[in-house]
Amino acid sequence: MPAVRTTNDKLARLIKEAGHSHKSFARAVRDTSDDAGTPIGCDHTSVSRWLNGVKPRADAAQLIVTALSRTLGRTVTLAEAGLSASGRLSLDLGLSVPDAVEDGIETVSQLWQADLSEASIVLSEHVNPGAWNDASLTWLLSPSATPTAAANGQRIGQSDVQRFRTTVELFAQMDNRFGGGHARQSLIHYLASDGARLLQSRYTAMNGRILFSAVAEATLLAAWMSYDSGLHSLAQRYFIQALSFARAGDDRLLAASILDAMSHQATFVGRFREAAKLAQAARQGTRGVATPTLTAHFLAMEARALARLGDGRGCDVALSQAVTEFERRTPENDPEWIRYFDDAELAAEFGHCFRDLGRAVNASQYAAQCVGTIDGGTYLRSDFFATMVLADAHLAAGEAEQACQIALDALRMGELLRSARCLSYVQEFAARLAPAAQSSSLRGFHEQADKFALWQRVANQ
């Protein structure tokens, strides 16, 4: 029995919105293909077939959405045009640093489209460990690249980039306060429209570097929000493309910070040796140019990985070096994006490390230093993490009732957060609490905890 086709109402609405007839739209697609150097033959009959549910080839589908984007003055995705099934994506899309900046623009554009289309290839939870090593090696051997502006397109200046930066900062604020799951898709929509427009514009060499650094920061935020949402393969791809843009913008410190962020994710997914190497690469690639704050953070990430490996001595050395660097810091000399890393944040890193090394007393001392001192209004998720580490530390010290009271504080914070990472902290606490779960003294905790969304999700798994 032949497959039943359904009409493509999404594409029909877009063609109507663009003011095209079947003939004029076929001509627009042909013109787009000619401009791209890949001419295709299509006419009004082809358009009728597409509207009747016949799926065009992958290259034709891309030309269709590009033609619509040009006419409508905004980015049209394959999903929006009802053509998701036409896109054939490479399994390794975004998993390498492109040699040419122009290839990087094409790669991230495809990644945005794949994300918005919910392509299964990029939404996997699994990462590719080899991709981290390849990306860090590429950057270490060739830390900068030379971008070239599009031959056509509107000329942009620093004010255009500043508007873009300010808008992305609003998404960053929402991420810190409500978790990556809150506005992640809205950020990707924005990047696929305004980000794509800027990347296809004309600019001076100086403005090009500023633009690419801004896009690197925005793509880094997309990576963090995807990571926080539990979309680890997608996050890894965004991290690597962020590194590509930082390289194009000749922003060495930002590029190293992206390797540092990759290290954070690698530790979270259990790739501890790769995590330590990524943090070491960040430090090696910025030796002599990184600020003390940045170097301290690189060392803290290395310490986290070593703690998870059970390497207490190596962890202690890294933490000691982090303190030495941190004491030399002058925050006004730091890039804006690392100034959040203060005494409370450093104490939180110590708390994580000592918890993972099984040093309950030390972990509780450091976690207690930062709980309540992190700006919970601005960095609610960070405050949540620190509070859960403190709860873990008291539980490890045999103080179950106190641990549970602290965990309840964290669960209250968690009501505002949409974060897979927050859920994982609660899962770990619940697993550690399980041996004492039947204690009558903890019955009240379970009754109260059941009122909170994060605990309910753990209980229902």
pLDDT tens digits for range 349-368 = 999 999 999 999 999 999 99
How far is Cα 344 from Cα 328, in angstroms, rounded to an integer? Answer: 16
pLDDT tens digits for range 234-293 = 999 999 999 999 999 999 999 999 999 999 999 999 999 999 999 999 999 999 999 999
Confidence of residue 151 (pLDDT cuts 50, 70, 90): low
pLDDT of residue 150: 59
pLDDT of residue 6: 64
How far is Cα 354 from Cα 360, in angstroms, rounded to an integer? Answer: 7
The percent of residues in the chain predicted with pLDDT above 70, rounded, is: 95
**DSSP conformational letter for 99:** S
How far is Cα 185 from Cα 191, in angstroms, rounded to an integer? Answer: 10
pLDDT tens digits for range 392-433 = 999 999 999 999 999 999 999 999 999 999 999 999 999 999
Q: Which helix (H) or strand (E) holds 346?
A: helix 343-356
Q: Check whether 3 has a pLDDT greater than 80.
A: no
Count CA within 13 A, CB hemisphere, residue 342: 13
Average pLDDT for residues 190-205, to the nearest whole number?
90
Confidence of residue 40 (pLDDT cuts 50, 70, 90): confident
Strands (E), 122-273: none
Confidence of residue 76 (pLDDT cuts 50, 70, 90): confident
How far is Cα 48 from Cα 305, in angstroms, rounded to an integer? Answer: 57
Q: Domain map of the chain by residue range?
A: 9-74, 98-250
Query: Which of 383, 380, 382, 402 minimizes the C-alpha distance to 391?
Result: 402
pLDDT of residue 96: 96
Confidence of residue 4 (pLDDT cuts 50, 70, 90): very low
